Each structure stands twice: as structure tokens, then as C-alpha cells.
Amino acid sequence: MNPGFQENRSHDFDPEGLTYRRFAMEDYRHLCVDLDDLVEALDSHHPDMEWYLDLNTGEVLFASADTPMEGLDDLEEDVDYMAIFPMSPRQSFEIMEDFVDALPEGTPKQALWVALDHRKPFAAFKDELGLGPLREQWCAFHDTRMRGYAMEWLEEHVPGAQV
């Protein structure tokens, strides 16, 4: 049984398993979650990967076709594990837009706006970044935003957990 469990779970999933619902508050102060692992889970958009947070240990676990987790079917129903769903593509796109907004006026900014207007904006954006200082700026910006998002996710879904 989850040591943070009081009377009701503070989260549950809708029938489609896509969103969380809140019930009563649990205390997860006993949990220490690796922020980098949580960021990886929230930023993962591989359709064949599933991510879970162990509510007893704080460990972020993943499973895929290549790396199956024993008892994966049970995890979806187990109150000791919480499914971690990735950030939506729209939210990821907004991070890219915010990055471009923050750039000084000039050719790189214009080129990235064109990339975001492309039929496949994620690929075009990455191609336009190229290698070098602009990509390094993007990586730092993206990392900062994802860490903030992960902290908000923890606060909302696992109140009291530490990083």
C-alpha cells in the first residue's frame, strides 16, 4: 500500500486514460523524484513507450516493445503507480513559439517563424536550428521550460513530492 495513501486517491484517470481527476489530497513528502527522469517522460513522444511514477519510491519507470516491464498490465490499475503522459504537441509547439519570440529580430528569427509555419513544423524547426549557437540556445531554453513544466506537473499530481 502506498504510504502516502490516506482515504482516497488524489488522482485517477478518465475512462480514456488521458487526463487526471482529483479526489482527496495525499501527502507525498516521502517521495524524491529525479527531475531529469520526469522531464524525459513528459517530453517523450514515442508512441510505443509508456511511463509511470512509482508512488512508493519516486522512481520514473518506462516500458516499450523493446524493454517490457514485468506486470505492465497491472500497473495501469495499481494505485502505487501513476501513468505519466507526455506534454501535448500543442504545448511543445508553444515552447518553440516562445523561443522564437524571445530571439532578437533578424534572419534566424524569421527563418524559424517560417519553419513553424511549415507542414511539418517540428522537423522543420529542428532542421532550421542547425548545429551551433542557435541550437545551444534552444536546448537551454527548452530544458528550462521543461523543468518548470515538470515541477508544475509534480505539484499538481504528486503534491509534496521533492526533487
pLDDT in tens, the chain (163 residues): 443 433 334 444 444 444 444 434 567 888 999 999 999 999 998 888 899 999 999 999 988 877 766 655 555 566 788 999 999 999 999 999 999 999 999 999 999 999 999 999 999 999 999 988 999 999 999 999 999 999 999 999 999 999 9
- Size (the chain), residues: 163
Q: What pTM was estimated for this model as a whole?
A: 0.77
- What φ, ψ does residue 96 adopt, rounded to 5°? -65, -45
Q: What's the CA gap between 132 and 46, in Å, rounded?
A: 26
